[in-house]
Amino acid sequence: MDIAFVVDPLPSLKAYKDSSVAMMRALAKRGHRIHAVLQPDLSWDRGRTFATGRELEVRNDDHDWYRASEPQRRPVAAFDATIMRKDPPFDLEYVYSTYLLELAEAEGARVYNRPRAIRDHNEKLAIAKFDRFVAPTIVTRDAALIDAFIHEHRDVIVKPLDGMGGTSIFRVRADDPNRNVIVETVSHHGHRTVMLQRFIPEVVEGDKRVILIAGEPAPFSLARIPKPGETRGNLAAGGRGVARPLTARDREIAQALGPALWAEGLLVVGLDVIGDWLTEVNVTSPTCFVEIAEQAGFDVAGMFADALEAAVRR
């Protein structure tokens, strides 16, 4: 098969830990041809959607992991599958890319994750669809509602709806002398909608990434454990990743959400679970494939390749 990956610039990908590179390697090992496409390489021209991609020779050397051919422009529908793996920020250019890929779908292209589903599942707010698994949470920019929520729960997490990697996430206690300025900063003085969640103490044991592929959970999560003095477990914020078997609660959440998310066209999803509570549904470019494979010996990228091959054959 010819498989296109919409990704960030190739030199920026850290091959030793990048999940997109792990996916490419797993597929190349099976004889599939891999093509790299950047956001500016997508276009619509007189009724057809095109991608200018470079075919890759994918290698196992982390320091020299690819060789790229000369660029070639072809209809997106000419690829057997297109994998949307562009990292956030989820800005307007990201949205425009999903529009172009959705046009390609109408022309017969197979795109994973499905562009409309990516747009419909804000990675913070998507938990509202599964609120029975969610700790007390409010989404608002109303200062009075924010104040009342902090007063009620005493210890909360405040975060924007468009952040990634732990950026702009604050822990706020009711007696924090910086309480008001933190809320004002995150909400831009009430001009930006924010999410507040009751603080979950079990974060010290890890913010778990549970990976769903075609609606099924990988058997291990990656618990991102905060460094001392931190409340954020994100690896980008200095957290330490530890692979662990799924708990019964992890499986309950995964098995409840998996089929519904796969039915929407979300082939790869990263659920964030702290303690017994679902905190995020990541759909843009979920990670942690490599860490789980290295520590637990489970081939997450191979599971992805199996699922993609089955999806294309359907």
Q: Which residues are catalytic?
A: 124, 159, 209, 224, 232, 272, 280, 282
What phi and psi, each to the nearest 5 degrees, are found at residue 80?
Answer: -70, -30
131 close to 256: Cβ distance less than 8 angstroms = no
Measured at the CA of 140, the angle between CA 137 and CA 141, to 5 degrees, comes to 140
**Residue 167 CB: number of other CB atoms within 10 A?**
15
Nearest Cα neighbor of 213 from 110, 89, 311, 76 is 311
Residue 146 Cα distances to 113, 182, 311, angstroms: 34, 12, 44
- Collect all residues with Cβ–Cβ distance below 8 Å to 290 and sequence separation of at least 6: 16, 17, 18, 19, 22
- Collect all residues with Cβ–Cβ distance below 8 Å to 20 and sequence separation of at least 6: 5, 7, 13, 83, 85, 285
CB-based burial label for 180 (10 Å; 0-12, 13-18, 19+): middle
Which amino acid type is present at position 121?
H
The two structure tokens encoding residue 110: 């197979």
90 close to 162: Cβ distance less than 8 angstroms = yes
